[in-house]
Amino acid sequence: MVITDFLERNARLYGAETALVELNPSEERDRITTWWDFNLIESAGTDVPYRRELTWKDFDRRANRFANLLLSRGLKRGTKVAVLLMNCIEWLPIYFGILKAGCIAVPMNFRYSSDEIKYCLDLADVEVLVFGPEFVSRMDAIADNLGNVKTLFFVGKDAPAYSEDCLALTGYCSSSAPPVALEEDDYAAIYFSSGTTGFPKAILHNHKALVCSCKTEQNHHGQKRDDVFLCIPPLYHTGAKMHWFGSLLSGSRAVLLRGVKPEWILRAVTEEKCTIVWLLVPWAQDLLDAIASGKLDMEKYQLSQWRLMHIGAQPVPPSLIKRWLEVFPHHQYDTNYGLSESIGPGCVHLGVENVHKVGAIGKAGYNWETKIVDENGKEVERGDVGELIVRGDGVMLCYYKNEEATNDVLKDGWLYTGDMAREDEDGFIFLVDRKKDVVISGGENLYPVQIEDFLRAYDKIKDVAVIGLPDARLGEICAAIIEIKEDMTCTEDEINEFCGQLPRYKRPRKIFFDKVPRNPTGKIEKPVLREKYCKGSLVEAQITG
């Protein structure tokens, strides 16, 4: 079985039912449109509507049309086709069209600069790029120097001269399924690592991995036909798309919300009767803060049908979930752990029945295995810290064109995650920190995530990141970059007093008040912080030494 089989089944069984909804809350217009209406709106040059929707039948037909467009241009099995779009109702039909053509889908991070776009296109040997209006200025800078890229399709009004109008062209293509036989071992997609440690690596997956993610997600969260999934994170990332795969498998509706303001989230849940919402830590924090401050009038929203809130993509502070369940006591809660190398979420998950273990990332996910090992690959004693490794059908095939990096993380079928973890007496796994983020101070291993979780319990702190700074005497010391909540003030003395509850060796030696940078999937961009704060410390350490 391949992932496109589920789409074709849904089109056959539930064709007239809504598959996808796109909400644009920054738009004032309330007109509801279908995909076909949108083509007319585009040609007329009017504004994007507040709400668009697409049925399962039209979803499948649009995917077929795009697949047939690619085949009409002579694309062969295995050709790489990149997608550079903001979340929109076109995104998933284009993605599935690429797969139906036997090509390899290459989703691109919407934050990439021109140089990063070109780097990733070159790295993945992309021949076709589909992009949207938000990226015209970045594409203008590199359009004359795109290497292997032969064709550029534009999704939107006023296509640049170097591109072709994607929606107009697909209108002339057949909506019948293309004559391409797919197997589960066929290459399906290349995703890029988050790039928090430098330029991203290209991660190659086959159809078996996509199906694995689909089944794992639906098993964990029990999506049924009447569920409605609110998807806010970017679809280019494995996390958002693979959580949506639960909706694909169950044939249920999903809502793509273009915006993260707390009032927009609650309005979407109310209007679309959403039952499942996946949030990133900053959005959950903002929503709780808006409720606590009285900025949101909860009487305006209908939230009783909302049954599950889950979080992934980053360590989740237990204090945040405690607050959440105090405000929303009827909610089920789950946290999901995964990597793009393990096809997104779910290789480890907490489970909605294990809320008493909040703070853990959980146990091995459905159809997954886990171990915690030392530097020699030997399992550590329960309770000891080691590197988390995982095994399952969702493990990547390789880092594309990077054998050395592949061999570093793939060993005997196991994926070495680079995350340090420990297992408690009940078999629940607790994430300690990224292997590369561990701070070694005076011979002691300090795990920033533990210190960050402690600091987030202070009621004035909105977000925090802990990094290591060079020190002539201790090798490294811990520094805390602290983002204070809006309309609050805080001093270094207050933080130091609060940290008095920590063992002395774990207390941050330096405090900086600043915004904590996060990437689109919610991960703290620690290289950015190291670049900003380590230079002066390095000079100081050298002088002291």
Tokens of 126: 């992309």
The secondary structure of 435-452, three-state, reads HHHCEEECCEEECHHHHH
Residues 119, 106: Cα–Cα separation, whole Å: 13
Residues 92, 223: Cα–Cα separation, whole Å: 19
Tokens of 299: 């009487």
Q: Please answer whether residues 18 and 253 qualify as being in contact, where contact means their C-beta atoms are separated by less than 8 angstroms.
A: yes
Tokens of 428: 């629940």
pLDDT of 537 reads 53
Domains of the chain listed by start with CATH number? 3-211 (3.40.50.12780), 438-544 (3.30.300.30)
Place of tokens 């939230």: 303
| Residue ranges in 45-183 assigned as alpha helix (H) | 56-72, 91-100, 114-123, 136-140, 166-170
CB atoms within 10 A of CB 489: 9
pLDDT of 473 reads 64
Task: Identify the CA nearest to 280 among candidates 346, 233, 218.
Answer: 233
pLDDT of 45 reads 37
Task: Identify the CA nearest to 78 among candidates 190, 175, 209.
Answer: 190
Task: Identify the CA nearest to 275 among candidates 321, 249, 310.
Answer: 310
Task: Identify the CA nearest to 338 among candidates 395, 413, 259.
Answer: 395
DSSP string computed for 295-312: -S-GGG---TT--EEEEE
pLDDT of 315 reads 66
pLDDT of 528 reads 84
The secondary structure of 478-540, three-state, reads EEEEEEECCCCCCCHHHHHHHHHHCCHHHCCCEEEECCCCECCCCCECHHHHHHHHHHHHHHH
pLDDT tens digit at each of 545 positions of the chain: 899 999 999 999 999 999 999 999 876 544 343 333 334 333 333 456 789 999 999 999 999 999 999 999 999 999 999 999 999 999 999 999 999 999 999 999 888 889 889 999 999 999 999 999 999 999 999 999 998 999 999 999 899 999 999 999 999 999 999 999 999 999 999 999 865 445 789 999 999 999 999 999 999 999 999 999 999 988 998 878 889 999 999 999 999 999 889 999 999 999 999 999 998 877 888 899 899 989 999 999 999 999 999 987 666 778 888 899 999 999 999 998 888 899 877 899 999 999 889 889 999 999 999 999 998 999 999 999 899 999 999 999 999 999 999 999 999 999 999 888 999 999 999 987 666 777 877 656 777 878 888 898 898 999 999 988 887 667 788 899 999 998 889 999 999 999 988 878 788 999 999 999 887 666 788 878 888 887 655 444 433 34
CB atoms within 10 A of CB 331: 18
pLDDT of 90 reads 96
pLDDT of 20 reads 97
Residues 285, 266: Cα–Cα separation, whole Å: 14
Tokens of 146: 């795109």
pLDDT of 272 reads 96
